[in-house]
Amino acid sequence: MNEKKLASFRLKLNAIRADLIGDVGGNFQSSQKDLNEHMADLVDEAAQSYSRQLMLSLGEQELKRLQLVESALEKMDQGQYGHCSECKNLIPVARLEVVPFTEHCVECLHSIEEKGQPDQHR
């Protein structure tokens, strides 16, 4: 994948991340300015509090999506973005355009979903 396309996906992922975090992140940043004058323990406590607040503010699906976005950004930094987690083949750009934080190609996702379905022959 060329650098321009990769940068485009990074922008999309960061936009999704910002949208998911929303006001929680803004509140943390404004309160963080005040904490700079306090001891390191208070900063650690605030960071932990922020994490708890973020988890509570996000629903289960939003939290999973945020984790996928964070994972995709990490993979970008490691040069592994766009590779299926199962078969390690490249995920088609068209799929990444629709779901930039996807972990699987369509074939592997289909296989995973089939395995997750209860056996109807029982």
Q: What is the pLDDT of residue 22?
A: 77
Divide the 122 residues of the chain into consecutive groups of 10 and give the mean pLDDT of each group: 92 92 56 51 68 68 90 95 95 95 95 74 40
The Cα–Cα gap between 80 and 25 comes to: 27
Tell me the pLDDT tens digit for each residue of 44-79: 677 777 766 666 666 778 888 999 999 999 999 999
The model carries a pTM of 0.65
CB proximity list for 62: less than 8 A, separation 6 or greater: 20
Domain ranges of the chain: 3-116
Write down the pLDDT at residue 26.
53
Say which CATH topology domain 3-116 has: Four Helix Bundle (Hemerythrin (Met), subunit A) (1.20.120)
What element of type H or E holds 21?
A: helix 3-35
Q: Dihedral through CA 37, CA 40, CA 42, CA 44, nearest 10?
A: 130
